[in-house]
Amino acid sequence: MNLSDTIAAISTPVGRGAIGIVRLSGKDALAIADRIFVSKDGIKASACKTYTVHYGWIVNSPQKNNKKLSVFCSSLFANVIDEVLLTVMRSPKSYTREDIVEISCHSGILVLREILDLILANGARAAEPGEFTKRAFLNGRIDLSKAEAVLDIINAKTRLALESGMRQLGGSLAEEIMKARQKLWEIIALLEVNIDFPEEEIGPADKPEGNACLPARQGAASDSRSHKKAINKNIRELAERINSLLNSSNQGKILREGISVVIIGRANVGKSSLLNALLKEERAIVTPIAGTTRDAIEEIIDLKGIPLKIADTAGIIEPQGLIEKEALKRTQDYFEKAQLVLLVFDSNVRLSRQDRQLIEKAKSKAVIAVLNKSDLKSKIDEAQIKNHFDNVARISCLKQKGLKDLEEKIIRLAWQGEIGVSEELIVTNSRHIRELRNAQDALERAEGSLKRNLSIEFIAEDLKICRNHLGYITGEEIKEDILDKIFSEFCIGK
């Protein structure tokens, strides 16, 4: 990848639509725009002010004269590809900190492709996945955690996931990491002074003014116990800060990946009706005939910000033929992978042998027992169900009753409490979680070395390792292969 090239890509999904955007970034972006864009007022793209939008046409032959043109100019329209709006954003105040030109045209496979091909023919290179955002990172506009937040925002499936991504894009995670790295630098600097000048007995009193990491030395002698206690205190504070970030990672993983939920139960208890009720649409076919659902139906539901990957499965316990055997196999596969099971019973029918088999099977999972058809006279002893499962919900899919209570139970189990993350920082990225854990391990080693009175060099080295792992999150410490892997997950054009 040559970062001095001017790059171009289609930045909107290819297909039929109202608007499509083709983006250029690099030192030749404006010169290329001059060769393919004719504005109605005759101004060249290279003469346009930054943050301005201009109306005109993309033409497939070089324009020697860019005079004011009439919409009825036949010589122009012989070569016109599309009528467009051209936006100019000059370096350094642009997304990549390079000159950027965006062409807003009519969205369609042919028109977008022809404009991109014309740009490439005039000297640009096709952008690689995520290359615009990678340039923004390498040019210092955003740190790596913010770059990855862009991908989180693009992939967000719920409002909570979007809020979390926006918070990270705003720098909340980067700010926490920078504070921790600064604290580590202060401790390391003081330790290394003692490593370099042990004969001088340089202690806490010689710390730079304003450094609050260590207490001031009393008198002329260095109080080694006070010194050790202060270092340990600061390591513990850092460990607590990292633990706080890691504690949010379970919720972060939910926002990023969702919760796998499977609806199981014997035939004709209302599993498909429950799926439709949660989706609030008629997604699954519902009939009084047992065995209507032969294959699993999978959907994603936004439940108060939590993405639920929910599957309705066939209610088959003892398969009678090849189709039912395959249906049962798929049901079992969904059951094994599920993080939460909605075990549905028909409360108007006494527990059957099949119900009891499912109860025993589901005990190894997080389960909500759902007693459907509660609008009818109940023939199931709820206390009996509660002997097996802590969470029981009475609902009626037909009458739309009890569904809010069921949703609250799902949230409490999935989120481990009430949802309230509007002001909280949640770590969602698996790479960030891995580096935080590595940093945590290094801190624990440093703390252990301090307790065993090992040499200062061991403590300082582990603190440096901790600082490096934190730097990998923001990109202050990074390797090219890691960058390539991160940005390869982006779409082309972002």
What is the overall mean pLDDT for the chain? 82
114 is written with which tokens? 């022809």
Residue 227 pLDDT greater than 80, yes or no = no
pLDDT at 76: 57
* Cα gap 353→355, rounded to integer Å: 5
- What are the residues facing 88 on neighbouring strands? 52, 101
Residue 422 pLDDT greater than 70, yes or no = no
* Cα gap 124→118, rounded to integer Å: 9
pLDDT at 235: 87
Whether 259 contacts 338, CB under 8 Å: no
CATH fold of the domain at 7-143: Gyrase A; domain 2 (3.30.1360)
Say whether 160 sits in a helix, a strand or coil: helix
In this structure, the strands spanning 52-59 and 259-264 are unpaired
**Superfamily designation of domain 254-415:** P-loop containing nucleotide triphosphate hydrolases (3.40.50.300)
pLDDT at 438: 94
Q: What is the DSSP string of 229-260?
A: HHHHHHHHHHHHHHHHHHHTHHHHHHHHH-EE
400 is written with which tokens? 């739309």
pLDDT at 287: 44
In this structure, the strands spanning 367-372 and 340-346 are parallel
Q: Which residue has the higher pLDDT, 79 or 185?
A: 185
pLDDT at 467: 93
For 174-210, what is each residue's pLDDT tens digit? 999 999 999 898 888 878 776 655 544 434 433 444 4
Please determine, looking at this structure, whether the domain spanning 174-248+426-475 carries the CATH number 3.40.190.10: no
Sketch the domain layout of the chain as residue ranges. Answer: 7-143, 174-248+426-475, 254-415
Q: Which strands, in side-by-side order, build the sheet including 259-264?
A: 297-303, 306-312, 259-264, 340-346, 367-372, 392-394
Whose tokens are 């009475």? That residue is: 394
